[in-house]
Chain A
């Protein structure tokens, strides 16, 4: 978000197509990440997030289009030595201690970070001698983070990094990621926690059906969803809610409904008139989660329309 974003991109996916089994996971996806940027890749399950990560880390090769890392092939040793990766739900060898495991990964790099610095950044002080197998899930995630930053990477890829962490550990990890960004490291983050994306990312890329459907700052994404979110419990059905005045989106989470509206007073008057049982009512600015939900819904509706036209 600054002069940095004019630098040439370090990670590029260009018109990438990738088929996985019967489904087209990526359908002409374009993505470029610049130094010092933190990009959150968001989208529903199966949107193509994991496939994008696998292409940029060299685990998969595109069927068509190209993937570049530091101007070269992501699979080369030179590209890999400037990247740190935190895979989703990865394990550790139980018999090695935290220090031994980190030291092993440090050894892969020509100019590794000092061990003490890694341990401090990952919040592992006091656990160095513990066997990895004896760590809690959250502590294991922190070791995974330590391995990812062991080589002082220029590109950090994190797939659902804070799964299994308590709130303090999450905050500590966020602040460590921020300091990586501050020294110019680019970050690619996939997460289901929109608060995490909001806390870290300066750029949100929403993908669905293997294509980018929105790309911008969190503020820009939120402003794509006009206005206000009304949350409540109601017995009205989704079609009834969608027909209320000024409503632009309807979503459900458990028993609660979120209505996006361009005018809260207009919508509320009708809602309260149609359903006198409305309960747990709150009105607030639309969150990033609302915005992403709305964008994905709109994208799916448009795709459906295109399909019906073709048929």
Chain B
């Protein structure tokens, strides 16, 4: 009971701190809404299938920034301030700190995705309830791989380096994953890079879940994502252990 209460309080504090930090809130919630409003709805006016396809991409896009910045830049900054060390010495159960951060990222991403869904509905996007749940749920679930990749930056780099690299990775994942602009509209070499981006595979799955693409190569996408997630997890565990040698 005590342990559970500690986890909950830690999570609440992280959510609160994140909520009050505009440099997290703006790229995390406002940016996806703004982009989707302009590009997904504004430019596709009257063509629901484009708004529909863009929604499937944007629910993945919405997970990248909170995960990359919360776990990359955020952890690096708190590590540099010795706050992580202080919490490891304090009787906070192991994992409490990262669980708190994960809760904050999930809360932020859930808010962004819910708002995106609402915006899409207003814009005329229609799906079966199961498709809505699968599409929005996949967006929320994609927090995990992005957070683990971000954590590798946060645990291995200084605050400034991690922030810079988190920005680059955020842009790279969004652009080369085909989340901003569909890959069909881009030069062919984009597609060659795309397969190395977790965002591409998540985007493809999201298109299928939302009914915009027929289900195909699901196993390949899922196994590549699983491998990437596992690699990031192992890297993060190693980096976490190394910092208390």
Chain A residues close to B by CB (< 8 Å) = 57-61, 77, 80-81, 83, 85, 87, 89-93, 95-96, 100-101, 103-105, 107-110, 147, 151
Contact = CB atoms under 8 A, between A and B. Distances in A.
A96 B13 contact: yes
B16 interface: yes
Interface pairs A-B: 9 shortest CB-CB: A91-B81, A81-B91, A90-B82, A95-B20, A95-B17, A80-B91, A107-B9, A104-B13, A108-B91
Could you tell me the dominant secondary structure of chain B's interface residues? helix
Contact of A59 (B18, B81, B244): B244
Given A60-B245, A105-B90, A107-B6, A87 B17 contact: no
A204 to B, nearest CB: 25
19 contacts: A58-B244, A59-B244, A61-B245, A77-B91, A80-B91, A87-B82, A87-B85, A87-B86, A90-B86, A91-B82, A93-B13, A95-B18, A103-B9, A104-B9, A108-B91, A108-B92, A110-B2, A147-B86, A147-B90
B2 A80 contact: no
A59 B78 CA distance: 16
Contacts of B244: 58-60
Interface of B: 2, 5-6, 9-10, 13, 16-18, 20-21, 78, 80-83, 85-86, 88-93, 244-245
A128 B238 CA distance: 38
Contacts of A96: 13, 16-17
A93 B82 contact: no
A57 B89 contact: yes
Contacts of A107: 5-6, 9-10
A110 B18 CA distance: 27
Given A90-B83, A91-B83, A100-B13, A59 B20 contact: no
Contacts of B6: 107-108
A223 to B, nearest CB: 37
Nearest to B24: A95
Contacts of A83: 89
Contact of B88 (A59, A104, A109): A59
Nearest to B80: A91
Contact of A89 (B78, B82, B245): B82
A95 B21 contact: yes
A147 B87 CA distance: 10
Given A60-B245, A93-B78, A77 B93 contact: yes
B70 to A, nearest CB: 13
Given A93-B17, A108-B92, A109-B91, 18 more contacts: A58-B89, A60-B244, A60-B245, A61-B245, A77-B91, A80-B89, A89-B82, A90-B81, A90-B85, A91-B78, A93-B83, A95-B20, A100-B16, A101-B13, A104-B9, A104-B10, A107-B5, A107-B10
